[in-house]
A and B are shown apart, each in its own frame.
Chain A
Amino acid sequence: MLFNSITFVVFFLLIYVLYLFFQKDLDLQNYLLLIASYVFYSWLNWNILFLLLYLTVLNFLTGKLIYKANDKNKGLILGLSIFLSLITLFYFKYFNFFSQNAEHLLNIFGFHIKQVILNIALPIGISFYTFQKIGYTVDVYRNKIKPSSDFIQFALFGSFFPQLVAGPIERSSNLLPQIEKPRVIKLNYIDEGIFLILWGYFKKLVIADNLRFVSDQVFNDFLNYQGVDIILATFAFTIQIYCDFSGYTDIARGVAKLMGFDLMLNFNLPYFVKSPSEFWSKWHISLSTWFRDYLYIPLGGNKESKWKTFRNLMVTMFLGGLWHGARWNYVLWGCYHGLLLIIYRMIGKEKSVSQNSNKSTVINIIQMLLMFILIAFGLLIFRVESIKQLIHMILSIGIAFSSHSQEFLMCLIACSLPLFVIQIIQYKKNDLMFLTKLSNVVRIPVYSILLISIIVFHAGESIEFIYFKF
C-alpha cells in the first residue's frame, strides 16, 4: 500500500478511529496495529508476509536464546541469527547479481557455466526490516536491552506500518519501549504530526514527483541529451530523491505521532552541510548510524591507525552502497562517498569545517555549495542504470543549452524554491519544526497553501517511493 494513495488515507482513517477507540487497552491497540501492519504490507502480495513472519520469529527466538546463553554460546547464536537473516536478504536481493557476475568472471577464465537466475520479485522494504531486526538481536547480545517477552509486541516492533517499508530503521531501544508502555496522544504530537504529514506529502507529491519528469526524461533517454541538460537533470534528481525519501519519512513520523509514537529523525537538512561526514550525520540517519554502530565501530572505527580508519570507512561505505541494491553503480556510489570521507580527513577538512563554523558566511556558503555539487555528482552515479551510461553522461556534461533546457530549469526552480525557502528558515532557526511554533495567523495560510498545492500540483498517478525498491 502506498502512502500516496487514497487507499492508504482511507485505511489509516479507519485504523486511527479504532485505535482511539481502544485507547484504554494497550494490548488491543497493539493487536490492531499488528494486523493493520500486516494488511498494509501484504496489500498487493500476501506471500511476502511469510518472509516478514520468518524474520520476526527468527530474531524473537534468537534474542531470547542469546539472553539466556553463556558468553561462549551467545556469540554463536548471534552469528547464526545474523547469518540466517542476511542469507535471506542475499537470496532475495543479491543472488541474481552475484550469479551474473560470477558467470562473467568465470567466462573470462574460460569456464563456461549455465547462469542460474531466480525469477523472484524483491520483497518491498526487505533491507529495512532485516536491518532493524538484526539491530535488535545485536542490542540484546550487547546487553543494551532485554529481549522482548511478548511476541505480539516484538512482531509489532518488526512490522510497524508507518516505517516498515522505507524506514526509519528504528532502534529497539527507541521503539520497543513505546510499544510496551501505554501511549498518550498529546496535542503537541498531533500538531507536529499534521505538519509532518502535510510537509511530507508536499515534498513527495509536489516536488519529487514533478522533478521526476525532468530527471527521468534525461536519464531514461540519455543518448539524446547533453550539456546543461545533464547538469539540470542531475540537480533535479538530487532534489527529487531527497524529497521522495525524506517525504516518506516525514509522513511515517507524522502518522506515528498521531498515534502517540515518536520515531527517530532520519533527515536533518542534509544539503546544508560542509563535509561528507556532516552529510552522513544528516542523511538517512537511521541507516548511517546503524552502519556506524553495528559495522564501523566493531571494525575499529577511528580508534586505530589512520590507514585502518580509512579501511573501515571504505568497507562501511562499500557495504552501505551495496545495501541500496544489487547493482555496481550503488557500490560505486558507496565507494565514492568512502573516498570523499577519506580525502576530507586526509586534507584535514573535517576538523577545519567543524572548528570554523564561525567563518564568514561567504566561506560557509562556498563550502556548502561545493559539498552540494559533490553530493549531486554522487547521485548521478546512483541514478544511472549502468557504468556505460555513467561514462557517457559524464563525458556529455557541458555548457551547451538545448531546446529543453529552459523548461528543465524553470521546473527545477519552481519545484525547489518552496523547499529552499522553508529549509533556509529551518537552518537559520536551527529548528525543523519551527512552523508548528508560529502563530496560527501564519500557519493557516502556509498549511492551506501546502494542502492546495498537494491537490493541484500533484503529478497524477501514484508514483512509488524510490526507496521502496531498497
Chain B
Amino acid sequence: MKENKVKINESSKPLKRLATLILGIFLFIFIINCYFIYLCNDCNINSQSMVIKRKWRKLFNLSKPVDWVILGDSSCTCGIDEKYFELRMNKSATNLCTVGNSLILGDYLMLEYLIKNIGVPKNVLIVHVYDIWERNFDITCYSEIPFKYGYWNNLIPLGLSNLNNLIKLHIVQYLPIYSKNITLRRIAENAIYKNKKHKNIMLKDGSTRGEANPEEVLKDAELHIQKLRIIENFSISKINREYMEKIFQLSEKYQFKVYLINGPMYNGLYSDSGFQNYFQQVEGELLLVSNKYPNVKYIPSNKLKLLFDKNQMSNSDHVAKTVVKPLTRKIVQVLKKEQL
C-alpha cells in the first residue's frame, strides 16, 4: 500500500495548491455557516434559543399597550395560557416569559423596550422559580435576542461590554457551526431517526407545552434537594437585585403595578424540610425588597399555593400541558384578590 513519499507533481505548484486548499476550506465553511445561521433562525429543537427569539419577536410585533404583561422564566412560558388569562381577567394580556437564565435583567430589557416603543402597561406580573435568584449573568441568552447588528452598544450601560462577552455574543449569533452544534446534531439525528428523537412542543409565540413525566419530576426534585443541602445561606445575586430594583423603580416612575410570584412547583419538593429552609429565606428577601416600593406586591407561596402532584408536572418546576389552565385560573383568582 502506497503511503508515504507521495510525489506531488512539481508542475502543480504545491504552494499554490496548498494555499488554494486552505482558502477553499475557509470559504466552504463560511458558506455552510451562513446556511446554518438561516437554519437555526427558526428551529424549535433548541428550545432556549427559540423561546427567546420568538418572545422577543412577539414583543416587537406588539402594536398597542396591554393591561397585563407577564414576564418571567420557563415555568410560566409553559404554565400560563395568555388567552385564558385574558378571558378570566377580562383584560388584555401578553405572555413574554422566556427562560430562567435570562434572569431579571431579561425581564427588565423587555419591559424597558415595551415602555419606550409601545406604551406603559397597567400591570406587570413577574413569575420566577425559586432557584433563579442566585444565578449570575450569562451572555448566551442575550445573544439570542433578535436585535439588529450592533445592538450590544445599547447594552454597554448594563455592563455587557467586556471583550469576552462581546466575542461570545458574536460566536452565538454568527457562528452557529460552533455555538449551535448540538442543535445541528439534533437536526441531523431527527433526519436519521424516523421517530424524531428530539421534539419540543412550541407554540408560534414561543410558549411551550410539556407532557407529564412523574419519573423526571422525582429525579429533578431529588437533584434540587441535593443541591440545597450544599447551599447554606441564600442571597440574591448582584445582577438580579440590581435589575429587580430597576423594574420596581420603573413602576414608580410610570405608575404601573408589579406583582411578583414564585413559579409552580412539585408538592413533594415543597414539603421537603431542606427546601423549606432555603425557600423561606428566598421569600423573606423578596418580601423585603418589594416592600420598599408601594406599587410592588410580592405574593408569598402560602397564599398562592401553586403546588402540584408529580403526575401533573413535567419536572419539579414545570407543569404539564393538562395543568396550564388550572394554573392560570388560580393565578388570576389570587391576582384579582390582591389587586392594589
Contacts and interface: CB of A to CB of B under 8 A. Distances in A.
**In the complex, which range does the number of interface residues on chain B fall in?**
20 to 34
Contact of B8 (A187, A262, A407, A431): A187
A447 B24 CA distance: 10
A255 to B, nearest CB: 15
B302 interface: no
A191 interface: yes
A345 B27 CA distance: 54
A452 B33 CA distance: 9
B184 interface: yes
Nearest to B191: A414
B17 interface: yes
A384 interface: no
A433 B2 contact: yes
Contacts of B232: none
A147 B179 CA distance: 52
A410 B192 contact: yes
Interface in A232-284: 262, 265, 268-269
Given A447-B25, A456-B184, A433 B6 contact: yes
A444 B32 contact: no
A263 B177 CA distance: 33
Interface stretch (A74-82, A221-229, A435-443): A435-443
Nearest to B4: A262
Interface string A390-428: 000000000000000001001000100000000000100
A192 B18 contact: no
A190 interface: yes
A268 B1 contact: yes
Given A410-B193, A443-B21, A455-B181, A187 B15 contact: yes
Given A188-B14, A448-B25, A457-B188, A265 B20 contact: no
A65 interface: no
A443 B18 CA distance: 11
Contact of B3 (A433, A437, A452): A433
Which one of B4, B21, B28, B188 has the highest number of Cβ atoms from chain A below 10 Å of its Cβ?
Answer: B4
B6 A188 contact: yes
Nearest to A460: B182
B110 to A, nearest CB: 32
Given A188-B8, A190-B18, A440-B17, A430 B192 contact: no
Given A191-B14, A410-B193, A440 B4 contact: no
The 6 closest A-B pairs by CB, nearest first: A444-B24, A448-B28, A187-B14, A431-B2, A188-B8, A456-B181
Interface of B: 1-4, 6-8, 14-15, 17-18, 20-21, 24-25, 27-29, 32, 177-178, 181, 184-185, 188, 192-193
Given A433-B4, A444-B27, 19 more contacts: A187-B15, A188-B6, A191-B14, A192-B6, A262-B4, A265-B3, A268-B1, A410-B192, A414-B192, A431-B2, A431-B3, A433-B6, A437-B8, A440-B17, A444-B20, A451-B29, A452-B29, A456-B181, A456-B185
Interface of A: 187-188, 190-192, 194, 262, 265, 268-269, 407, 410, 414, 426, 430-433, 436-437, 440, 443-445, 447-448, 451-452, 455-458
